[in-house]
């Protein structure tokens, strides 16, 4: 049988691991990030925020291989627009 201290320790470790992983996966990008911030982020961070915002704003087309390139294409020409604005006004 596992002691209550061990259970608390395991729960705390799992929580802290989840927080650390979620913080690393998006690297500071959020809906309020500008397209300039997006373009300066790594490809994996770009994909992570696109997946998150596409889900949040119900734009599933942007998570497909054909839809994902639309964000950097738009952002390269509009560096001051926020990702929130983009996803609020995007079709799909």
Residues of the chain with pLDDT under 50: 6, 9, 12, 16-26
pLDDT at 40: 97
pTM (two decimals): 0.69
Q: Could you tell me which residues are beta bridge partners of residue 34?
A: 82
CA gyration radius, the chain: 17
pLDDT at 91: 85
């Amino acid at each position: 049988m596992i002691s209550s201290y061990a259970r608390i320790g395991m729960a705390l470790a799992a929580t802290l691991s989840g927080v650390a992983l979620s913080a690393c996966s998006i690297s500071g990008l959020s809906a309020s990030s500008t397209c300039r911030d997006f373009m300066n982020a790594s490809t994996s961070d770009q994909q992570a925020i696109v997946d998150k915002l596409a889900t949040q704003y119900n734009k599933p087309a942007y998570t497909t291989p054909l839809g994902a390139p639309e964000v950097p294409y738009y952002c390269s020409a509009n560096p001051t627009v926020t990702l929130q604005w983009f996803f609020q006004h995007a079709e799909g």
